[in-house]
Amino acid sequence: MTAPIRVALLGYGLAGAIFHAPLIAAVEGLELAAIVTRDDERRSRARRDHPDAALLSAPEEVWERAGGLDLVVVAAANRAHVPLARSSIEAGLAVVVDKPFAPSADEGRSLVREARERGAMLTVFQNRRWDGDFLTLQGLLEEQALGDVGRFESRFERWRPELTGGWRESADPQDAGGLLFDLGSHLVDQALVLFGPAAQVYAELDTRRSDAQTDDDAFVAVRHESGVRSHLWMSAVAAQPGPRFRVLGSRAAYVKYGLDVQEELLRTGRRPDDPHWGQEPEDRWGSVGAGDQLKRVPTAPGAYQRFYESVMLALRRSAPAPVDPDEVVAGLEVLDAARESARERRVVELR
């Protein structure tokens, strides 16, 4: 019998408790062996949720146990992503880093280079590549159902008029706070996966809520080398959200409202072994067509668990990592360019 891949999870806040731990536990061949958190309430929750995992108080305890571990998942605050990933690599462990991968493209590029020099697997949890609506759109593009795409519109818009505090709202660049990094890291990644490298970037970053220190309402326009233009919106102050996707092609358009259901399911305690996992109700399906000739298109089931299934295969069978970190660095280049564009009020050339 093959021994399981033993995983240490660094952080048990929203990312660690809601996303990573349940998905790791759901994949055969992975074992959640250790959880690192100092917070008493989070330790109690971790003990209840995963009683077989060792509870550790500091990342240094993971490095001390590196010989009995195989993989580290970095789900701590953004500013800790790079240093914790680097220490894990130096300890000889494979690494998954939650998004955003790094506060800048230069820091991300340096981490990728170090992982390659040491022969360590490094990948990034860009889970939105396994959203049901994104998988549906990929299928439509592969079938040429829309014809030649001219414009891709994508939104993550929320109604959160009150500040909640914490590092996500910090103006310190090392915290990688603000919606550009929090949500834009997903939107940009999806756009690049679908339509290829960026050639130009234009952005508007605004702070709408009183006392907010960083962007909470943003727009990024990307012209891809392929000629497609991506228009990406992210907002915490959208009282009525726009469509999640609006994709305009020469033959038809795809319009889809509402977010993927998997985060909602994870928050309520449901897991990928549920027979209806990731399935969206019919009233939330998108439509394809032109003019009045529209048809509803079933949303493909979302499948976040595929990320960790691919991690397991990468470690056991030397298969490709689920997300190439070079692709994520390319996304960070777009985010860096967006900040430069907003600051200088100009279009930034990347290619």
Same domain, 93 and 141: no
Are both 279 and 190 inside the same structural domain?
yes
298 and 149 share a domain?
yes
Q: Residue 139 is part of which domain span?
A: 128-302+333-349
Residues 91 and 71 in one domain: yes
Asked whether the beta carbons of 201 and 220 are under 8 A apart, the reply is yes
Q: Of 89, 105, 125, which residue sits at a domain end?
A: 125
Q: What is the per-residue pLDDT for 212?
A: 77
Q: Domains in the chain: how many in total? A: 2
For position 171, what pLDDT does the model report?
65
Query: In the block, which residue shows the tokens 């795409």?
Result: 149
For the chain, how many residues are written? 351
Q: Is residue 320 part of a domain?
A: no
| pLDDT of 1 | 66
pLDDT at 2: 84
* Cβ–Cβ under 8 Å, residues 100 and 160: no
Q: Are 252 and 245 in contact (CB under 8 A)?
A: no
Q: How confident is the prediction along the chain (351 residues), in pLDDT tens digits per residue?
A: 688 999 999 999 999 999 999 999 999 999 999 999 999 999 999 999 999 999 999 999 999 999 999 999 999 999 999 999 999 999 999 999 999 999 999 999 999 999 999 999 999 999 999 999 999 999 999 999 999 999 999 999 999 888 877 666 666 676 677 899 999 999 999 999 999 999 999 999 999 988 878 888 999 999 999 999 999 999 999 999 999 999 999 999 999 999 999 999 999 999 999 999 999 999 999 999 999 999 999 999 999 999 999 999 999 999 999 999 999 999 999 999 999 999 999 999 997
CB–CB of 35/9 below 8 Å? yes
Bond into 22 cis (ω within 30): no
Beta carbons of 236 and 207 less than 8 angstroms apart: no
CATH of the domain at 183: 3.30.360.10
CATH number for the domain spanning 12: value is 3.40.50.720
Q: Is residue 326 part of a domain?
A: no
pLDDT for the residue numbered 161: 86
Closest C-alpha to 328, from 107, 85, 92: 107
Residue 73 in contact with residue 45, Cβ under 8 Å?
Answer: no
- Distance, in Å, from the CA atom of 315 to the CA atom of 7, rounded to the nearest integer, reads 12
pLDDT of residue 315: 96
